[in-house]
Amino acid sequence: MQDLAPNNQCGYCGNTVETEKAQENYKSSTSGEVGNLMMMAETAVEATNWEEALQYYNKVLEKDITNSDAWLGKGIAMVYTSKIGDIKTKEAIAYWKNAIKHAPNSEAMGKRVAKEINTVVNGFYPTIENHYIEFHDLDNSYQELVSRFSTLESAQDYATQLDSTNIVYCETGYALCQRVIELPKKYASAASSSALAEGIIGQFSSNKYSRQSASRDAKDKMNKAGARKKEIEKYAKVIDQISGKYFFKLKEIDPNNSIVLNEEKKVNEAKQRNDKQKEINSRIQKQLPLFIVSGILIFIVILFSTNFFSNQENQGGLIFWLLVFCVVGPWKLAEYLIKKNILK
C-alpha cells in the first residue's frame, strides 16, 4: 500500500487515492504466483534476510519483467548484500531506473525510490565507517574509506535528482560527508602526540638499547602519523567537493536552513581564527629566541640534576628529542601565554 496522508493523498505524487480501488489493486498484486513471491520477498526484507529477498525478487522478475516493485526491492537488496570492497550502487541505480520506467506513475515511483535510497544509504554507511575504525592504522585506510563512501554516495546523489525539492536527502548527504571528514582526524592527531610522548619518555631509560629502540619506534610512528595526516588532507578534499554539492543544494532549497547558517558561521569564525593565529605567530616570533634558550637551559638543568649524562654511551636519541622539545615546547607555551593574555 502507498503512504497516504490523512486526506487520502498519495505521499509521493500528491494525488487523491480511492481507498477501495487501492485495496483492490493491493489484493490483485498479492495474489497468484507473482503475488506470493512478492509476499515472500517482503517477509525476507522484514527479517533483514537480504540474500533471500534478492532471490525472490529475481523470481518475480522472471515471471514479470515489468514489475516495478520488484525492481525497486532488487535495487535495495543489491546494496545490502554488497561486500565492503564491492558496494553495488551502480547496479542498484540501474534497477531503480527500471522501477521508475515500468511504474504506472513514474513521478510517484521516483519519489518513492528516493525515499528508499535515503534509508538504504543511512543503513549501509555504518558498515564502511566501522570497517575504517577497525583498520584505520593500515596504509591507505582513509583513501579506501573515501573511495567506498563515494561509491555509496552516488546513490544519495541520485535520490536528490529524483526528488530535488526534498531537503532531507541533501541533509543526509551533507551530514555523512562531515562524518567522513571528521572521523580520521582524532586518530591521526592522537597517533602523532603519542609518538612524540613515547620518544621523549624512552630517552630516560638507563639501558642504551632501550633508548635506541624507543627513538627508532617513535620516529617511525611520527613519520607514519605525518604520512597519515597528508593522506587525510589529500583525500578529504574529495569529500569537501561532495559536501559542497549538498551544501549549495540545501542553500538553494532553504537559505535559512540550520546547516547553511551554521556552515556560514563556521566560515566566518575560521577566518577570524586564522587572522588571530597570524597575529599570534607574529608575536611569538618576536619572543621565540628567548623561549628556546630558556627551554634548553631548563631541560639541561633537569637532566644534569638527575645525573642523566653520566655513563651514557649513546646520546643521539637524546639530542634529537631535545631539539624537538626545544622547538615545539617553547612555541606552544608562547602560543598559550599569548592566547591567555599573559604574554603581551
Contact 195, 218 (CB under 8 A): yes
Helical packing angle, 141-162 and 167-202, nearest 10°: 170
CA contacts within 13 A on the Cβ side of 82? 25
Contact 250, 171 (CB under 8 A): yes
pLDDT, mean of residues 117-124: 96
Q: What is the model's pLDDT at position 326?
A: 63
- Lookup: cell for 36: 506470493
Q: What is the model's pLDDT at position 67?
A: 96
Q: How far apart are CA 33 and CA 62, in angstroms?
A: 11
Contact 196, 152 (CB under 8 A): no
Q: What is the model's pLDDT at position 115?
A: 97
Rg over alpha carbons for the chain, rounded to the nearest Å, is 29
Q: Would the pLDDT of 310 be above 90?
A: no
Q: Comparing 14-23, 129-138, 245-254, 300-309, which segment has the lowest mean pLDDT? A: 14-23
Q: What is the model's pLDDT at position 222?
A: 63
Q: Would the pLDDT of 18 be above 80?
A: no
pLDDT, mean of residues 30-59: 92
State the pLDDT confidence band at 25, using cuts at 50, 70 and 90. Answer: very low
Note the pLDDT tens digit of each residue in 195-222: 444 544 554 454 555 655 655 666 666 6
- Lookup: cell for 212: 635506541
- Please tell me the pTM assigned to this model: 0.67
Note the pLDDT tens digit of each residue in 270-294: 888 888 778 777 777 776 677 677 7
Note the pLDDT tens digit of each residue in 182-198: 888 766 555 454 544 45
Q: Comparing 146-160, 165-179, 304-318, which segment has the lowest mean pLDDT? A: 304-318
Residue 33 or 298, more confident: 33
Q: Would the pLDDT of 20 be above 80?
A: no
pLDDT, mean of residues 89-99: 97
State the pLDDT confidence band at 65, using cuts at 50, 70 and 90. Answer: very high
Q: What is the model's pLDDT at position 196?
A: 47
Residue 234 or 42, more confident: 42
State the pLDDT confidence band at 324, using cuts at 50, 70 and 90. Answer: low
Q: What is the model's pLDDT at position 223?
A: 66
Q: How far apart are CA 344 and CA 340, in angstroms?
A: 10
pLDDT, mean of residues 318-342: 67
pLDDT, mean of residues 253-275: 86
Of the candidates 73, 316, 62, the residue with the CA atom closest to the CA atom of residue 208: 316
Q: Would the pLDDT of 152 be above 90?
A: yes
